[in-house]
């Protein structure tokens, strides 16, 4: 299979599969878990599939010293060239996120200029500003999950795959997996999370045999996942059923990807 065809199938499967598999955590999601004030699961799910990931083990410094901060979620390999189609999509989304940021800035200075979507976005930022670290990550993840209902791109926009900006998603109140992840990514960005510590990731979900999108943030030595399939905040190392495909950082000129470890599986 050519790289172009494989990439096209990945993009299509993310558009179709993630929306079909996404279950709103408040609506009897099979993977929704109770979690504590730290945003951590009270018990580890017994049905997590122990799939082998082609990942590197984290390096340690010296005896008795703390581990190095992992450069990427899932200890991804070195940077590689991002497929042109995904690079263009990410660049376009970044432009629309910047436009949203200007709208939100105007909302901060003039409440009369605020749309309901901008107010909702700022409510997430305010919620996150009241706490730190995993507590605020858990609150943001939960708030965004509850604010958006699952809907396919076909139903909303008439396209197989459309990455909506945060305010577009909050205006409709609906979206698929990457729309949840994009809103969380933008909220964390608005809270001042360092560029080096924030990612948007497309993964292969080996348990559900679909492709999926999540947001990730680095907290000291751990990469933590914000996922619309669960209210819990998971460590990337514990999400063994997620096989990373592509990772995006904040700068479109510095985006990078990991080659798919396994071929995309037909539905």
Instruction: Indicate the SS3 state at residue 204.
Output: strand
263 part of a folded domain: no
Whether residue 137 is contained in a domain is answered as yes
**Average per-residue pLDDT in the chain?**
76
Does residue 111 form part of some domain?
yes
Backbone angles phi, psi at 205, to 5 degrees: -90, 100
Closest CA relative to residue 166, chosen from 239, 215, 234, 108 = 215
Of 245, 195, 263, the residue nearest 55 (C-alpha)? 245
Instruction: Let me know if residue 264 belongs to a domain.
Output: no
The pLDDT value recorded for residue 7 is 53
CA distance 7 to 214: 18
Q: Checking phi first, is residue 162 left (phi over 0); if not, alpha (psi -120 to 50) or beta? A: beta
User: What crossing angle do the helices spanning 177-190 and 116-129 adopt, rounded to 10°?
Assistant: 60
Q: What is the CATH number of the domain that holds 160?
A: 3.10.620.30
* 1 inside domain: no
- Tens of pLDDT, residue by residue over 31-79, are 334 444 444 444 443 333 233 223 333 333 445 555 556 677 777 665 6
201 DSSP β-pair partners: 214, 247
For residue 233, tell me if it sits in a domain.
yes
96-138 per-position pLDDT tens digit:
999 999 999 999 988 888 999 999 999 999 999 988 888 999 9
Sign of the torsion angle spanned by Cα atoms 137, 140, 143, 149: negative
Alpha-carbon gap, residue 266 to 194, rounded angstroms: 37
The per-residue pLDDT for range 177-191, each reduced to its tens digit, is: 999 999 999 999 999
Residue 266 lies in a domain: no
Segments forming the whole domain that contains residue 183 = 6-59+68-257
Q: Is residue 138 part of a domain?
A: yes
Residue 77's pLDDT is what? 62
| Residue 150 to residue 22: CA distance in whole angstroms | 7
Count of domains forming the chain: 1
Model confidence at 80, in pLDDT bands (50, 70, 90)?
low
Three-state secondary structure call for residue 112 = helix
């Amino acid at each position: 299979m050519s790289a172009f065809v494989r990439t096209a199938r990945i993009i299509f499967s993310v558009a179709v599969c993630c929306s079909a598999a996404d279950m709103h955590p408040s609506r009897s999601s099979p993977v929704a878990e109770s979690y504590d004030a730290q945003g951590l699961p009270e018990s580890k799910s017994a049905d997590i599939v122990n799939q082998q990931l082609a990942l590197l083990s984290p390096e340690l410094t010296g005896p008795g010293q703390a581990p190095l901060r992992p450069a990427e979620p899932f200890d991804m390999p070195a940077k590689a060239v991002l497929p042109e189609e995904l690079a263009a999509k990410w660049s376009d989304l970044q432009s629309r996120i910047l436009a949203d940021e200007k709208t939100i800035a105007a909302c901060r200075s003039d409440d009369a200029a605020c749309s309901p979507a901008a107010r909702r976005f700022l409510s997430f930022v305010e919620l996150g500003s009241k706490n730190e670290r995993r507590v605020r990550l858990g609150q943001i993840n939960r708030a965004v999950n509850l604010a958006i209902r699952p809907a396919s791109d076909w139903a909303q926009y008439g396209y197989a795959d459309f990455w909506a900006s945060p305010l577009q998603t909050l205006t409709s109140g609906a979206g698929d997996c990457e729309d949840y992840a994009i809103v969380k990514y933008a909220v964390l960005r608005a809270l001042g999370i360092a560029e080096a510590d924030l990612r948007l990731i497309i993964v292969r979900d080996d348990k559900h045999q679909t492709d999926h999108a999540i947001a990730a943030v680095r907290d000291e030595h751990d990469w933590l996942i914000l996922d619309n399939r669960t209210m819990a905040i998971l460590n990337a190392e514990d999400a063994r059923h997620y096989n990373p495909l592509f990772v995006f950082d904040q700068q479109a000129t510095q985006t990078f990807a990991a080659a798919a470890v396994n071929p995309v599986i037909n539905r």
